[in-house]
Amino acid sequence: MKRNRITLYIDLLFCLVIIPLAIMLLPVDRWITNNTAFLITLVAYVYILYFVYRLSCIPKLFMQKKYIRIFILLFILASITELLTYFPMPAEHITDDIRQMTTKMNIRKQTIWFFFLIVTGFSLAIELTFELFRQIISKQEIEAEKNKAELSLYKAQINPHFLFNTLNTLYALVLSGSEKTESAFVKFSDILRYMYSQNESELIPAEDELNYIRQYVDLQKLRLNHHTNVFLSINASSGKILIPPMILITFVENAFKYGTSSDTDCKIDIKIDINKEKLILETENAVMKKPENKQPGIGISNCRKRLDLLYPERYKLENGENNGIYRVKLEIDINN
């Protein structure tokens, strides 16, 4: 719709401003008197030529490699233009002054070809510009669809990864016969309900994601003994801020995966701060377990890819181990 409006404005500019101004450069008064039919024919031809170019869209034909069609079109238009230069002048208006002027300068022929070149150049420039915009918009749409598909894939990979680890927690509670098992399954069902209710959502209120993280942390606490202390601090000045679902849980999950112990004192510290400008997540945990391989986990890898797609050049992610302590700091500019 917007492009059609721009096209209309350009057509009006050409037809109502540029062409009338160009015609005013001609000896209109003399031509109206001496050869009215020629002047009317010339003006009509200029407008017809312009819309022929606009409808044929030569740059698009060129992109499609339809060179023969372009050649035929230009040949026909050039031939018609040349024929127009032989437009007869009424004998009664041919004076010695006019005959002398025609002999020396051949104004009429130059004028016809001048208008032909002006219309051709303007039309091709406009169509070339529109074709470039079409190519850019098409690439952007393709890239947007690709990014959307990738986001869906990454979210689909995150969910099974999370479920696998959570089921291990429930399994451990069942084996131990813990009285916390029933409460754990209630929390787990709430988590599942949240995960699949937000599965198709690109953005959700921050308060929903924060409640989800609280439930997850509570679920993890049920399986931990006194050796692991968990501290969760959430400061959300605006819970209505929209954020991507399941974007924070991977870092929280990894803190529990590698930072807990059943026989050694350890601590997990999670801080989340959300305001209208930024989202900041910080986690800190002692490294109690090492991954079996040294390759980055699928969860963090997918989070990085999602962040690249959702917040290009608008986030900072620092994570790493130092002196046996693993720290993560994620900062997202959510104001843009």
Q: How far apart are CA 328 and CA 336, in angstroms?
A: 23
Q: Check: CB of residue 202 under 8 Å from CB of residue 241.
A: no
pLDDT band per the 50, 70, 90 thresholds, residue 148 = low
pLDDT band per the 50, 70, 90 thresholds, residue 270 = very high
Q: How far apart are CA 323 and CA 132, in angstroms?
A: 55
Mean pLDDT across the chain: 78
Strand 228-236 with 315-322, pairing: unpaired
Domains and CATH numbers, the chain: 2-139 (no CATH), 178-333 (3.30.565.10)
> Tokens representing 176?
């131990």
Cα maximum dimension of the chain: 119
Q: What is the pLDDT of residues 22-66, one digit of tens each?
A: 777 776 666 666 667 777 888 888 888 888 888 887 877 777 788
pTM assigned to the model: 0.55
Q: Check: CB of residue 237 under 8 Å from CB of residue 272.
A: no
**Both ends of the chain: CA-CA distance in Å?**
26
Q: What is the pLDDT of residues 189-246, one digit of tens each?
A: 887 787 777 666 778 888 888 988 998 888 888 777 888 899 999 998 877 888 888 7
Residue with tokens 């959570």: 166
